[in-house]
Amino acid sequence: MLDLDTKCGRALSRQPFQKIFRKKPRKRFRGVPPPLPFDLDALPDNTLLNETETAAACRRAKSTLEVWRKQPDHPLRWRRIAGRILYELGSIRAFLKGA
């Protein structure tokens, strides 16, 4: 449907220009974290690692661990302590060995 310009008698086919909004940049780092600065072999099996440390040890993205947690056959054992997700080092070692 075209609007008619009453002064010239011709049809207006375009809407007025609208401002183009840019998307906000992603705030979350979505890649694989850098390697761990400490040795996993020196720690006992009952040590708890946070999400970033676990992702670095497994060489996976944090979002991958998040998806795995929602699956019932998740290979890594995790706990929620004070609102933080912590993984057991023993299960990380078993996952890295392929058991």
Render pLDDT for 16-42 as a digit per residue (tens, 0 to 9). 667 777 777 767 777 888 889 989 899
Question: Which residue did the predictor score with more confidence, 31 or 47?
Answer: 47
The pLDDT value given to residue 9 = 57
Q: Long-range contacts made by residues 73-77, C-beta under 8 angstroms, separation at least 24? A: none
Mean pLDDT of 48-61: 94
Q: In this predicted structure, what is the pLDDT of residue 68?
A: 93
- pTM for the predicted model, two decimal places: 0.68
User: Pairing relation of β-strands 48-50 and 3-4?
Assistant: unpaired
CA dihedral of 66, 39, 45, 57, whole degrees rounded to 10: 20
Q: What is the pLDDT of residues 75-97, one digit of tens each?
A: 899 999 999 999 999 999 999 99
